[in-house]
């Protein structure tokens, strides 16, 4: 049986958004961002579960 990697999801809300990875038990790791141009982001925050 092959191991499956969890998917990283993009939640895009116009000028802001986040990438999120959901682990076992519902724990989330996230990276939030603000768009400052067509090809540029500012990473605002990162968080991983303990």
38 domain-assigned:
yes
Tens of pLDDT, residues 19-31: 999 988 889 999 9
Domain assignment of residue 43, given as a range: 8-47
12 domain-assigned:
yes
What span, in angstroms and rounded, lies between the C-alpha atoms of 50 and 32? 18
pLDDT band per the 50, 70, 90 thresholds, residue 2:
low
The pLDDT of residue 45: 98
pTM, rounded to two decimals: 0.79
3 domain-assigned:
no
* Number of domains present in the structure of the chain: 1
| Structure tokens given for 19 | 């990438």
E strand segments, the chain: 8-13, 16-22, 28-37, 40-47
The pLDDT of residue 22: 92
Query: What are residue 30's DSSP bridge partners?
Result: 20, 47
Q: What is the mean pLDDT of residues 24-46?
A: 95
């Amino acid at each position: 049986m092959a191991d499956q990697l969890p998917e990283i999801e993009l939640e895009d809300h116009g000028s802001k958004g986040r990438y999120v990875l959901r682990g076992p038990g519902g724990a989330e790791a996230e990276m939030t961002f603000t768009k400052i141009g067509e090809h540029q982001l500012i990473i605002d925050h990162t968080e991983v579960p303990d």
